Amino acid sequence: MTTSLADMRRDYTREGLDESQAPAEPLALFRQWFADAVETEQLPVEPNAATLATVDAEGRPHCRVLLLKALDERGFTFFTNYQSAKGDQLSANPFAALTFFWPTLERQVRIEGSVEKVTPAESNAYFQVRPLGSRLGAWASPQSREINDRHVLEQLLEETRQRFEDTQPTCPPHWGGYRLVPDLIEFWQGRPSRLHDRLQYRAIRDAWTRRRLAP
């Protein structure tokens, strides 16, 4: 029997999100929620997985799931090929949004802001701690470009292995990090009857304001 999408629903039963639980600035709350997700979520859910949304030069939106690799007071950092589709989109329109969803905790976090490249030193430092296969893949894959079949990719990888047979691969000039500098962060906690809690932080003149939104 086929299940109707309209019939697929779950009730949310965990504790709510009250202003008394929320600090004055959002990064502290994000770190707390992220630590909870690391402790609670089980594979195949990756707590640092997020949906990144970008907009191209024609105004068309695009989204994909990627992994957050660094977080500090400057923002949220992820790494990719600068010549990929997302790289082209961020070059044309340097703004983006991230959404984290932690189903076990019935929580999501929405983040919006401007995007900037991290320094080459930061990109290189992260590149060097990646597994060797990932480093070779960064050199081998013409990300987002059309290829005829899987064999093409495997051949490119083998050629890259031979190229770096006697040396460690360095960070490619076309690969590195982006930092999303947030100006809006919204915390969503599932509640019964779809009356969810939403606390939104917005950066105004270097200070964060907080407000509650109706679900």
Q: Which residues participate in the annotated binding site?
A: 9-12, 64-69, 79-80, 86, 108, 126, 130, 134, 143-144, 188, 194-196, 198
Query: Are 30 and 71 in contact, with CB atoms under 8 Å apart?
Result: yes
β partners of residue 77: 70, 179
Instruction: Determine whether 194 is an active site residue.
Output: yes
Q: Is the dihedral of CA 90, 112, 143, 171 positive or negative?
A: positive
Binding residue ranges for substrate? 9-12, 69, 126, 130, 134, 194-196
Q: Which amino acid is at 176?
A: G
Structure tokens at 96: 């983006």
Enumerate residues 6+ apart whose C-beta is below 8 A from 195: 215
Residues within the annotated binding site for FMN? 64-69, 79-80, 86, 108, 143-144, 188, 198
Catalytic residue among 74, 194, 211, 212: 194
Rounded CA-CA distance 211/209 in Å is 7
Rg (CA), the chain: 20
Identify the three-state secondary structure at position 68. coil
SS3 115: strand
Name the residues annotated as catalytic: 194
